[in-house]
Amino acid sequence: MTNSPLLALHIAGAITGLLAGTAALLSPKGAHLHRVAGNIFFIAMLCMSASAAWLALLKSQTMNLVVGTLTFYLVGSAWLTMVRKAGHTGLLERGLLLIVLADAAAALILGWEAANGIGMAKDGAPTAAYFVFGSVALLASALDIRVLIRGGVAGASRIARHLWRMCAALLIAVTSLFLGKQSLLPAAIIQTHLYLLPILTVIVLMIYWLIRVHFTSAYRKARKPAAPASLAPDIWPKRSVPTRPI
C-alpha cells in the first residue's frame, strides 16, 4: 500500500504521456499544438519514468530501473536541447551525461553477467534487452560528449537531437504497454497482432520527421543570428557574421 501513490503517479503519467506524445508527434513541429502537447508530454513522462525507476529500486527490478532511468534522461535531454540557446551548454547537460553513462554501464554489466551465467536474467527480462537499452544509452552518451566538446548544437541538428530523444522515450512507453502488458489487452488484439501497430507507427513517424528535418529545408534555420535584434532592425541591410562550425 505504501507504493500506491507512486503507482498512481506512474499510471497517470503514462496515460497522459502517451496521449500528449501522440498529439505532439502528429502535429507540425513548432506549431502551437506541438508546443503545448510537448510540454504536457515532458512533465508526464518525467513523472512516469521517475516513479517507475523508484518503484523498480524498491522492488529490486533491475530492468525497470535501467529503462526508467534511460527514459527520464531521454526526455530531460530532449527538453533541454530546445530550452537551451543554440550553440550553448551548461551544468545540466553534464549532469545528465553522468546519469546516462551510469545507466549504460549498469545495463551492459548486467547483460554480460546474465549472458555468461554469472548471474541470472533479472525480472524474467530477456538478456538481450539489457544490451539493447545499454547500447541506446551508450550511443546517447557519445552524442552528448560530442555536443559538449563542440560547445552546443544548432540548426537542423538541434531539432533532430530533440526529436529522436522524445520519440525514443515515447517508443519505450508504447513498447512497455503493448509488449510488456499484453495480459491487460483484449484477446482479439493479441490474436490479430494489432498491438504492434502503435509501436510501428511511432517508429515510422520518427523516421519520417528525422528525414524531413535533415533532408529538406522545412526546418533549416541560420545557425546564429547576424546580430541582436535591437542592433539590426529589419530595415537595415543584413551583415554577414562569420560563425565557427558546430
The pLDDT tens digits of the residues spanning 95-130 come to: 999 999 999 999 999 988 888 876 555 566 788 889
Residue 135 has pLDDT above 60, yes or no: yes
Distances (CA, A) of 139 to 96, 101, 135, 233, 235: 14, 10, 6, 42, 45
Is 230 a domain residue? Answer: no
State the cell numbers at 117: 551465467
> 246 lies in a domain?
no
Among 120-129, 188-197, 198-207, name the one with the lowest average pLDDT. Answer: 120-129
Look at the chain and report how many structural domains it folds into: 1
Query: Quick check: helix, strand or coil at residue 71?
Result: helix
Query: Is residue 146 scored above 90 in pLDDT?
Result: yes
- Tell me which residue has cell 532592425: 233
CA distance 62 to 107: 9
Predicted pLDDT of residue 93: 94
Higher pLDDT, 91 or 233: 91
pLDDT at 213: 87
Q: Which residues of 118-144 are buried (b: 16+ CB within 10 A; e: fewer)?
A: eeebbeebebebbbebbebbbebbebb
- Do the beta carbons of residue 32 and residue 5 sit within 8 Å? no
pLDDT in the model for residue 28: 79
Residue 83, domain member (yes or no)? yes
Rounded average pLDDT over 64-91 = 93
User: 111 in a domain, yes or no?
Assistant: yes
Domain annotation covers residue 72: yes
Whose cell is 513517424? That residue is: 205
Is the pTM of the predicted complex or chain greater than 0.85?
no
From the list 78, 57, 86, the residue with the least C-alpha distance to 160 is 78
Q: Which one, of 45, 44, 49, lies nearest residue 64 by Cα?
A: 49
User: Grid coordinates representing 149?
Assistant: 566538446
Range of the domain at 24: 8-215
3 inside domain? no
Note whether residue 224 is domain-resident: no
Q: Which set of grid coordinates corresponds to residue 115?
A: 549472458
Residue 229 has pLDDT above 80, yes or no: no
Neighbours of 84 (CB within 10 A): 16
Neighbours of 71 (CB within 10 A): 26
Q: Give me the pLDDT at residue 26, please.
A: 84
| Domain annotation covers residue 231 | no
Q: What is the pLDDT of residue 192?
A: 83
Take residue 42 and report the three cell numbers written for it: 515532458
Distance CA(113)–CA(107), nearest Å, equals 10
Per-residue pLDDT, 1: 46
- Quote the CA–CA distance of 99 and 173 in Å, as a whole number: 19
- Range scoring the smallest mean pLDDT among 43-57, 115-129, 198-212: 115-129
pLDDT at 230: 42
